[in-house]
A and B are shown apart, each in its own frame.
Chain A
Amino acid sequence: MAITLAVEALDVVFEYDGRRALDSLSLAVPQGSIFGLLGPNGSGKSTLISLLAAMQAPQAGSLTVLGEKPGPRLRSRLGILFQETCLDPLMTVEETLRLHGKLFGFSGQTLKSSSDRVLALLELDQRAGDAAATLSGGMKRRLELARALLTGPELLLLDEPSVGLDLEVRSRLWGHLRDTNEEETTLIVATNDVLEAERYCHSVAFLSRGRTLAMGTPDELKRGLKRDSVRLEWPDLTESTLCDIASWPGVGRATWIAPILHVTVDDASSFVPRLFQAVGEGIRAIHIRESTLEDAYFQLVGLPIAERQEQMV
């Protein structure tokens, strides 16, 4: 059965004053999925969100959102959570929703019932009469999500939805987002939190310098990686030792940001004893875990490595 796409981008180009933010970017987002856009700052995530929201138009390439070319009319089918807080501090929670609803053509009883529904859903009904300025950071984010959900969007665009939130608030926010997705709303989440993307997204695209480097489910993207990830605190590591380790059988990628050496290996239980046998002292701490999407991200995107002038073999 053919998959219906919520978003289809083909060779999309967008420039700000000659600086290319999206460079022939292509993407396919299945309808009803939670889709993560992962990439470092400046990789084009927010620009792509603004194009999907029809706030700006691509300068080249083709973009289809919910079967339409992006334009003002499309926005009635979208909900948007911007990266930064966009609330009027003088308006109450209820007034914020009422203004948004009216801008989207809702009024009367329809607006009232939609507003009550999202306030209850996001557990803000007890604060409906309070000014936005008096809400905590987590509540402000929930109010913005309530606003985005008010009009029953088919596609929810979320730009760094959990940035700056503590773990508990973040977890509750994601709970709400998953509930929303279960009601068949497609979610596109721009984030640079790889663990969050691995935990919550059905599919992920790695963006770098305005291009899609890889796209697939977290399992697909991890396929081909070494099974284990070994992190060593090793301040005195020399370049020759690093090259030696990298050449061992079963060793994948070895990266060093002093004093940390990060190695992906087929089997940590055989690698670690061999390492201690070969190099003896100098290693201060060791941490072993299974490879994650983060390892796939670093392997494919590579930008943070370059940015930190990491020594890489």
Chain B
Amino acid sequence: MTAATATLLAWQALLERDLRALLRSRSQLYSSILLPLIILAVLGSGVSEGLEPSLVRDRDYSSFLVPGIIAMTALFSATFSGASYYQDRDRGILKAMLAAPHPAGVILLGKSLAGVAVGCLQALLVLAIVALIPAIDLEWQYGVVPGLLLAFFAILLLNLLLGGLAHLLSARITTLTGFHLVMNLVLFPLFFFSGAFFPLDEVPVWLEVLGRVNPLSYAVDLMHVAIYSDTSSGYLGAPVDMPVLLAVAAAVLYLGVRRHSTG
């Protein structure tokens, strides 16, 4: 067996474990999917009713919120993935895994990628549920299949970014409580300034600057572009979003795994 095959087999085993854990821990599954949908229903309906329709991008606020809701699902998944590192460490399971004949980085990257895959599945599930809601009109400006592929790409990069960030933080913070506090402190501002709740081109300059330096904005932007009709004005577009997301996600994931391997 070559080293590459052995690595893929190990990653497959780690992914199987995470998927099984997700299915057995229903509370995690339900909270990751239901909470974003509840926010979509309550916030979307409430704000849509209270605003002049012409002022709302994508015609109604619920539709506008969809990319942000998917980003929120990814955020929850990343938090769970980071928390699972602490559980595995405290139960000794991580040590047992690291006793396998692979460099530590291979196991840690596999664990991270398993979390990313679970996050992608949850986000795609939310997108599928949202697409079935009659009040939300996903227009797929590039067609359904290319749009889905683009949305999947955005979801994948977003999960890589957040998963990497969660691992980077869990490598530096020793307790699970501290990790949750810092995740909330880091991720919620990133989420608020990502264009998930309001368009970034019609806000004060300082807020727009914060949005533009926020890597989450590019994921939300890419999802807007993928799932709605021609909305090129006010959006950065895929040629900007994809390289930025790819570069930041790869850098953060690399730093997270490296920090864990040497820590």
Contact = CB atoms under 8 A, between A and B. Distances in A.
B96 A86 contact: yes
B59 interface: no
B17 interface: yes
Contact of A90 (B9, B21, B98, B101): B21
A74 B99 contact: no
Contact of A102 (B10, B25, B96): B10
Contacts of A102: 9-10, 12-13
Interface stretch (B47-55, B87-95, B144-152, B199-207): B87-95
Given A102-B9, A103-B10, A87 B91 contact: yes
Contacts of A105: 1, 5-6, 9-10, 101
12 contacts: A80-B99, A82-B92, A84-B92, A87-B91, A88-B17, A88-B93, A90-B21, A90-B25, A91-B17, A99-B14, A102-B10, A105-B5
Given A82-B92, A99-B17, A102-B10, A90 B1 contact: no
A85 B16 CA distance: 22
A72 B92 contact: no
Given A91-B17, A105-B6, A105-B9, A86 B95 contact: yes
B92 A85 contact: yes
Contacts of B189: none
Nearest to A86: B92
A91 B101 contact: no
A55 interface: yes
Given A88-B91, A90-B24, A102-B10, 17 more contacts: A76-B101, A78-B99, A80-B99, A86-B92, A91-B17, A95-B17, A99-B14, A99-B16, A99-B17, A103-B10, A103-B13, A103-B97, A105-B1, A105-B5, A105-B9, A105-B10, A147-B96
Interface of B: 1, 5-6, 9-10, 12-14, 16-17, 20-21, 24-25, 88, 91-93, 95-103, 107
A147 B6 CA distance: 18
Interface in A35-88: 53, 55, 72-76, 78, 80, 82, 84-88
A196 B103 CA distance: 35
Nearest to B107: A103
A73 B93 contact: no
Interface residues of A, number: 28
Contacts of B10: 102-103, 105
Most B-side CB within 10 Å, residue of A53, A88, A90, A107: A88
A152 to B, nearest CB: 13
A104 interface: yes
Contact of A91 (B5, B20, B98): B20
Nearest to A74: B101
A257 to B, nearest CB: 35
A107 B8 CA distance: 12
Contact of A100 (B6, B16, B96): B96
B101 A73 contact: yes
A103 B91 contact: no
A98 interface: yes
Contacts of A100: 96, 100
Contacts of A104: 100-101
A55 B99 CA distance: 7
B100 A75 contact: yes
B91 A86 contact: yes
A99 B19 CA distance: 13
A84 B101 CA distance: 21
A103 B88 CA distance: 16
A74 B99 CA distance: 10
Interface string A132-164: 000000000000000100000000000000000
